[in-house]
A and B are shown apart, each in its own frame.
Chain A
Amino acid sequence: DTGVSQNPRHKITKRGQNVTFRCDPISEHNRLYWYRQTLGQGPEFLTYFQNEAQLEKSRLLSDRFSAERPKGSFSTLEIQRTEQGDSAMYLCASSLVPTNSGNTIYFGEGSWLTVV
């Protein structure tokens, strides 16, 4: 058990609906990441936070996607007006801030999204 928890684990939604995923990181970790994984591909980076601040966003994160981490603890990822191409596993991960010794990123179990 990595300690990163995500919910819901599975979500089926109709095209055009909004969905929100929640991630609770390992408690002492100040960095929180969102990745997306589709079948046959490795995880692709979407965005990350250091405490409350969103420090980097991938070009994969379209305007329909928004992520927040309001108190520097849990995070939400919202997808508005879902499209079939949004169907994927959404992975959350957390870590400490990197040092010269490097850092390890720990992943949650993911939230499966199916858009029908």
Chain B
Amino acid sequence: AQSVSQHNHHVILSEAASLELGCNYSYGGTVNLFWYVQYPGQHLQLLLKYFSGDPLVKGIKGFEAEFIKSKFSFNLRKPSEQWSDTAEYFCAVSFGYSTLTFGKGTMLLVSP
């Protein structure tokens, strides 16, 4: 069955530290890849997406993600964290033209 795995359920960082959140999926066919963020008390918002082309995609607020097809991965990165990045981050994959399958999420806490 198709699935999405996020490696860390909770991450705690200090401001200015770099961030990398792991995401792996299981499916050998065409995929569309997404990272969503949910700030406290707010709805899911799209951070970035990959459909095709350059495997390094840039999103809002300085986030980027790299699609590595051979590793079935789509890790999220940011070089310097801010306190305002405290939120829950979800990796999501659509397999072929199907609906989105989400990972369980990673709660990120950035301490000032």
Interface residues of B in 73-112 (CB under 8 A from A): 90, 92, 94, 97, 99-105
Expressed in whole angstroms, the Cα–Cα distance for A33 and B104 within the complex equals 19
Which of A15-23, A41-49, A65-73, A74-82 is the interface stretch? A41-49
**Is the beta-carbon distance between A105 and B102 smaller than 8 angstroms?**
no
Q: Closest CB-CB distance, B57 to chain A, in whole Å?
A: 12
Interface size on A, residues (CB 8 A): 22
Expressed in whole angstroms, the Cα–Cα distance for A45 and B98 within the complex equals 11
Expressed in whole angstroms, the Cα–Cα distance for A3 and B94 within the complex equals 22
Interface residues of A in 5-44 (CB under 8 A from B): 33, 40-44
Interface residues of B in 20-42 (CB under 8 A from A): 32, 34, 36, 42
Q: Closest CB-CB distance, A24 to chain B, in whole Å?
A: 14
Chain B interface mostly helix, strand, loop or mixed?
strand
**Is the beta-carbon distance between A102 and B102 smaller than 8 angstroms?**
no
In the complex, the number of residue pairs spanning A and B with C-beta atoms less than 8 Å apart equals 54
Q: Check: B44 CB closer than 8 A to any chain A CB.
A: yes
Q: Check: B68 CB closer than 8 A to any chain A CB.
A: no
- For B101, the chain A residues whose CB sits under 8 A away are 45
* Residue from A44, A91, A98 in contact with B97 in the complex, judged by beta carbons closer than 8 Å: A98
CB closest residue in chain B, given A107: B44
CB closest residue in chain A, given B103: A42
CB closest residue in chain B, given A31: B99
Q: Tell me the B residues contacting A by CB distance below 8 Å.
A: 4, 9, 32, 34, 36, 42-46, 49, 51-52, 90, 92, 94, 97, 99-105
